[in-house]
A = this chain, B = another copy of it.
C-alpha cells in the first residue's frame, strides 16, 4: 500500500469555491496526515488563500486552470466550455492519469456526473454509474444508491448497483457479506415494478459470495438500518435522500421552538444540553457528506456545494477510506466472480426482458 493517498481537488467547486476547499483540505489533513493534494483552480483566487494555509500548501501541488464550472452551468455547457481546461475536469483527469487516487469536487452535480462519465468511462460490466450515499441509521450506517446519478434503471443495472453497493459496504463497514435490499413499495401486483422483481430474481439466483440478498425493503427501512445496502434507481433515491434531510431539519426546527417556548423548557434545555449536542451531532448533515460515483474507472466524490470545511473534509475522508480499503478492486473482483460463474447469454436475455 502506498505511503500516501493523493487526492485531486477541484478548488473552484461549491458555493464558496476555494474558501471552502482549502480550509476543508486543511481539516482533512489534520484528520489524515498521510494525504497529499493536487489542487486545480484559478491562481489569482487559490494562491492567496493557500498562503493562509501553509500546511496545505506544503502538502500540495497546484495547477492553474482558466475555466471554473459554475454552480448553475448545464452539464452540456460545462462539458463544452470546461472539458480539458476546467478545474473540475482536471481534477477528474488526474485520477484517470494515475496522478491521484481519487478526486473531490463540491461543484454542480450535473456537470460533475457528465465530466466523470466522459473522462473516466464506465467500468467493464457496468453500463450505468450510480451515486452512493452513506445514510445514518439506527444500527449505524447504510449505503444507499443510486441517489441521483441517473434516472431509471432496469434489472441488470439494479443488479450492478447491488454489487457495487455491496463492495462499498465491505470497504467501509468491515463486513464480510453485507445484506442488500431493493427499495420497493408495499403494493403488490402493480404495473411498473417488473424491473425490481427481476433484479431480485437475479440477485437470488446469482447467490453472490459477498452479498446477502435480503429481499424488498420500504422507505422506512432505510432509517431503521434493516439492510446494509439499499438499492434503487436515481429518481426515487434522490427523492428519498432529500425528503429525509427535509424531515430531519423540520424536526430539529420543532425541537428548537419547543425547547425555547417556556422558561421551564429552557431550564430543561440547559440540563439536557449535552444530550442535545449528541443528537445534533448524530443529525449533522456534514457527517454524511459525500456522494460516491460508483461504476467508473476511478473514484470521484461529490461534496455538497453548501457544506463547510468540516463537511468537505468528511467527503475527502470518505474517498480516503475507500482507497485504503481498495474499493475498486473489490467491485471488480465481485463483478468478475459473477460473470465467470454465469453464461453471458442468459444475462443478455434478462437485460432485454427487464428494459423499461
Among residues of B, the one whose C-beta sits closest to the C-beta of A261 is B275
Flag if A272 contacts B247 (CB, 8 Å): no
For window 222-243 of A, CB contacts with B under 8 Å fall at: 222-224, 232, 234-236, 238-243
Flag if B223 contacts A247 (CB, 8 Å): yes
Chain A interface, number of residues (Cβ within 8 angstroms): 71
Q: Chain copies in the assembly?
A: 2
A118 within 8 A of B: no
Known: A243-B222, A245-B220. A253 touches B190 (CB 8 A): no
Flag if A258 contacts B243 (CB, 8 Å): no
In angstroms, Cα B216 to Cα A242, docked, is 14
Contacts of A264 in B (CB 8 A): 271-272, 274
Flag if B283 contacts A251 (CB, 8 Å): yes
Contacts of A276 in B (CB 8 A): 258
Among residues of B, the one whose C-beta sits closest to the C-beta of A259 is B275
Flag if B240 contacts A254 (CB, 8 Å): no
Contacts of A218 in B (CB 8 A): 239, 242
A215 within 8 A of B: no
A183 within 8 A of B: yes
A8 within 8 A of B: no
Contact of A109 among B186, B224, B247, B249 (CB under 8 A): B186
Flag if B187 contacts A113 (CB, 8 Å): yes
Flag if B235 contacts A185 (CB, 8 Å): yes
